[in-house]
Amino acid sequence: MTLFKSDPIVLNMKDAEVIYYPSFFARSEANAYFNVLLETIAWQLDDITIFGKTVPQPRLTALYANNSKSYSYSGIHMQPHPFTKSLEAIKAKVELELQHRFTTYLCNLYRDGQDSNGWHTDNEKALGQRPLIASISFGAERIFHFKHKEDSNLKQKLILNHGSLLIMKGGTQDYWLHQLPKTKKKIGKRINLTFRTVY
């Protein structure tokens, strides 16, 4: 399969470096990866504690890595699975484009519009300072929101396409929050692969 790289779009965001490739993978390749990942990823449902209340996390997740380092966020502690053949192939293409090496995938499966990810920043200590986060989307399109931590007037949103790549680096995690909100629209499943380097 051949990688199709759309021209990258650099978002105009203060204190951040955010780059978006709307069609990083050709549709046929994105379709194939979506189907394979849906069936082969070891999806799990964890409980998450928010404001002292423990509830099921509103999405399924899985952790994969080329090492044995665990990853923790929001009170959830995850142990990695070894990379599958498909995850290795996707990782190689992203690393070639970005000239950056990643150790770990945090995989998310949004089953419908009621699955979501609230306001947060990827600033866990294990990621080091100013981490580079790369995010691949397969499946249903979803709207992704940003808001500045210090200036409430600074907001940004974009549609994450099937086969797209979103890059967040520089001061993005220091100065911005991001979320994938719920939607009442009837939509299908979305798989999100977030690449990170865990130290």
Look over the chain and give the mean of its residue pLDDT values, rounded to a whole number.
Answer: 94
Determine contact, residues 74/49, Cβ cutoff 8 Å.
Answer: yes
Q: Residues 112-144: pLDDT tens digits?
A: 999 999 999 998 888 999 999 999 999 999 999
Q: Residues 42-59: pLDDT tens digits?
A: 999 998 877 788 889 999
Q: Residues 162-177: pLDDT tens digits?
A: 999 999 999 999 999 9
Full set of structural domains in the chain with CATH: 35-109 (2.60.120.590)
For residues 52 and 19, which has the higher predicted lDDT (pLDDT)? Answer: 19
pLDDT at 2: 41
pLDDT at 180: 98
In our burial notation (b when 16+ CB lie closer than 10 A, e otherwise), range 117-143 reads beeeebeeeebeeebbbbbbbbbbebe
Distance CA 148, CA 139 (A): 28
Determine contact, residues 43/61, Cβ cutoff 8 Å.
Answer: yes
